Structure 1
C-alpha cells in the first residue's frame, strides 16, 4: 500500500510540474509577443520622427541656401530670356557694364555680314555728350526731344568717374551715362572718351548716325529737321583741312612715317558727326591710334587730328569735310568765344542758323550749314528758352 501511495504522489507531482511548465511557456510566449508588438510600434514611431527630421533638415538646408538657388535661377533666366535674346542683342537695355575699353571696342567693331535686318529697324541718331559734369543746357535739350519718337534717337553721356547726372526717371537722360574714365584736355584721353562713346552707341544696331556734343552745345533747329538732315546725308561731317602753320603741320611728328606722311596730316574740329560704317572703322582701328598715342604729344591735341587724318587716309570721299556744329573762333586763342546771356537775341540766333552762305549737301547745296552751336554759358539758358519756339522751332 505504501508503494502504491508513493507512486500516486509521484505521478501527481509530475502532472503538476507539466502544468506548471506549460503555464510558464505560455507566459513567455505572451511576453515575447508583447515585446515584439511594442518594438514594432516604437520602430514605426521612430521612423516617422526620423523622416520628419530629415525632411526638416532638407527644408532648412534649402532655405539657408536660398540665395544660391535664386542666383542660379536668375542666371538661367538671363541666358534664356535676356542675354541671348535678339531684343537684348540689338539694343542693350542697360548701359552699365564691366567691359574694359579693349573688350568694348572689340565688341562694338563686330559687323553683321548679312545685309537684311531680322527686325524692324528705324535709323536712329545717337546724341553723344562728352561732359565734365552737369549739363547746364539740359532743359533746352529736354524741350528739343519732347514728344519725339524715341525709336529715332538715343542718348549717351560720358562724364567724369563718380559723377551722377541728377535727373528724374521721366527724363530722356535718365540712366544714359556710360562707364567712363578720367579725361585730360589736350591729351589722347579725349580720343579715348570719343571712342568710348562711339563704341557704347554702336552696341545699339539701330544707331546709324553719331553726333559728338559738349555740355555747352545747343540744337539750333528742331528735332525733325536735324533727324532728316543727318539720316538723309550720304556723307559724314568731319572738318579736315591742311593747316600749314605751327598749329597744324607744326604738330606733325616724322616718327609717324611711313604710315602717316605730312601730306596726309589734317586738322579739324573735335565735334564730329559720323555714319555707322565710319564709326566702326574708327573704333576698330589700333594701328593709327597707337601712332597718335605715342607721337602726338605734348601740345599736339590728338582730338583735333586723329579722326580728320584717319579719314583723309582712307575715307576722304565719304566725308563732307565740314562740321555741323557752329563755333566762333574769331577772337583767336586756344578756345572759342563763349556766348553769355547778353549775346542771346533773335537776330543773333538767326545769324547762326542761316548766314547767307550755302554748304554742300549730297549732290547739291543747302542754306543749312549747322545744326548745333557752342559754346554757351549757363547764363544763356533762360534767354534761349524764351526763343526756342519762335526761332528754333521746338
Structure 2
C-alpha cells in the first residue's frame, strides 16, 4: 500500500514537472514569436519609411520644374572656325542649352581641332556628306533635329553654320505640284529658330522633302563648273536653293504660317553694289575682316529693326509677338582675326578690367 502511494506521488511529481516544462516551453515560444513579430513590425516599419522617403523623393523630383533648353544645331564641314567665340558665348550657361554638330562623316571634335570643350563629342553619329545647294543640306537639318528632340527639355532649335553661299530668283519648279503648290511656296533664311512642335513637323515630313530632293536644285554656277559639267542651257534651270525654302514651305503647307514670326535670325550683308573689293562681290555675302570688326559695326547690327529686300522691292519691319523688335540674334560672316578682335574688345577686355580692379 505504501509502495502504491509512493509510486502515485512520484507519478504526480513527474507530471507536474513535465507540465511546468511544457508551460516554460510555450512561454518561451510565445516570447520568441512576440520577438519575431516585433522584428517583423520594425522591419516593415523601416521598409515602409524607406518606401515613403523614396516615393516622396520621386514625387519631389517629378514636380521640380526643370528649365527648358535651347538646342544649338551646327552644320559644319569640319572644324568650327569661330569656336573660341562660341565658347565665350556658352560659358556659364551650361544648364540652359545643348549642342549638336553635323560635320562630315568620320570627323571627330577633340582637343586637336577645337579650342572649346563644348564641342567635344557633340557631333551626330549618322552624318552625311553635305553639298551646298542640294537637298542633302535639308537632310542634315533633319538629322540634327531628330537627335535634339530626344531630350524633352529642348524647346527651341536654332540652326547655325560656318559659311555657305546664296543665290536668288526663279526657284519654284512647277514639277512640285500638286503636292507642293506654288501658293505654298515660301522663301526665308536657313538660319531659323523652331519650336518643338514645328521641329516635329519637319522630322515627320514624308511628303514635301521627297519633292525637294527631286525638283529643288541649284543652278549650275560658274564657280562650280570645275566640279560639274557645263550645262547646255543654264536659262532653263530652276535655281532652287532647298535650305532657304524647305522649312518655310513645309509649315505653310501644313497650315502653320499663323504660328510663325516673320523675323530674321542671322545678319548677313548682301548690299555689295558699292563695294570696290572684288572679293566682296559675287554669290557670297560680305566677309567682315579685322578692320571691319568694330563696336560701331556690332552696334549697328544690334540696332537693325527692318530689312529691305532688294529683289522684291519691299521692306520688312522686324517684330516679336506683334511688337517691334531688333532683327538679328547672330551675324555672319567673320574671319578669325575679326572674331578675335571682337572677343578681345568685349569678353577678354571685361576680364582684364576685373583683374586690374582686384
Please, what TM-score do these two structures have when normalized by structure 1?
0.58
Relative to structure 1, is the Cα distance of residues 257 and 132 closer, same or farther in structure 2, using a 3 angstrom cutoff?
same
Correspondence for 2:134: 187
| Residue of structure 1 equivalent to 2:186 | 266
Q: In 2, distance between residues paired with 1:360 and 1:305?
A: 21
Indicate if the aligned counterparts of 1:271 and 1:325 stay in contact, CA closer than 8 A. yes
Give the match for residue 334 of structure 1. Answer: 283
2: CA distance between counterparts of 1:173 and 1:383?
A: 22
Are the equivalent residues in 2 in contact too, given 1:122–1:206 (CA < 8 A)? yes
Mapped partners of 2:177, 2:100: distance in 1: 36
Does residue 362 in structure 1 map to residue 306 in structure 2?
Answer: no
Q: Which residue of 1 aligns with 2:211?
A: 291
- The reply to whether residue 350 of structure 1 matches residue 294 of structure 2 is no
Which of 143, 154, 164 is residue 98 of structure 2 equivalent to?
A: 154
CA distance in 1, matches of 2:65, 2:150: 17
Deviation readout 1:14-61 (Å, 9 max, x if unpaired): xxxxxxxxxxxxxxxxxxxxxxxxxxxxxxxxxxxxxxxxxxxxxxxx
Q: Look up the match of 1:227.
A: none
Q: CA deviation at 1:392?
A: 11
Q: How many residue pairs were aligned?
A: 246
- For structure 1, the 5+ residue unaligned runs are 1-116, 218-245
Distance change (3 Å), C-alpha of 1:390 and 1:351? farther
Match of 1:316 in 2: 257
What is aligned with 2:174?
Answer: 254
Shift, 1:341, TM fit: 1.1
1:303 aligns with 2:243: yes
Q: Answer whether contact 2:193 2:265 (CA < 8 A) is retained.
A: yes
1:376 aligns with 2:341: no
* 2:117 counterpart SS class: coil
Higher Cα Rg: structure 1 or 2? Answer: 1
Q: For residue 391 of structure 1, report the CA deviation from its aligned partner.
A: 10
CA distance in 1, matches of 2:300, 2:108: 36
**Aligned equivalents of 2:318 and 2:247: distance in 1?**
21
- 1:388 to partner: Cα distance: 2.4
**Residue of structure 2 equivalent to 1:178:** 124
Residues 356 and 118 of structure 1: CA distance in aligned 2, closer, same or farther (over 3 Å): closer
Q: Counterpart of 2:160?
A: 213
Partner of 1:129: 74
* Equivalent residues of 1:216, 1:376 under 8 A apart: no
Secondary structure of the residue that 1:195 maps to in structure 2? helix
Gaps of 5+ in 2: 1-61, 220-239, 273-280, 307-316, 352-358
Per-residue CA deviations over 1:147-195 (Å, capped at 9, x if unaligned) read 22x2210011111112221238982222211121110111000000011
Is the Cα contact below 8 Å between 1:136 and 1:216 reproduced in 2? no
Q: Which has the higher contact order (CA 8 A, sep 6+)?
A: 1
How far 1:381 sits from its partner (Å)? 2.2
Conserved 8 A contact 1:329-1:336: yes
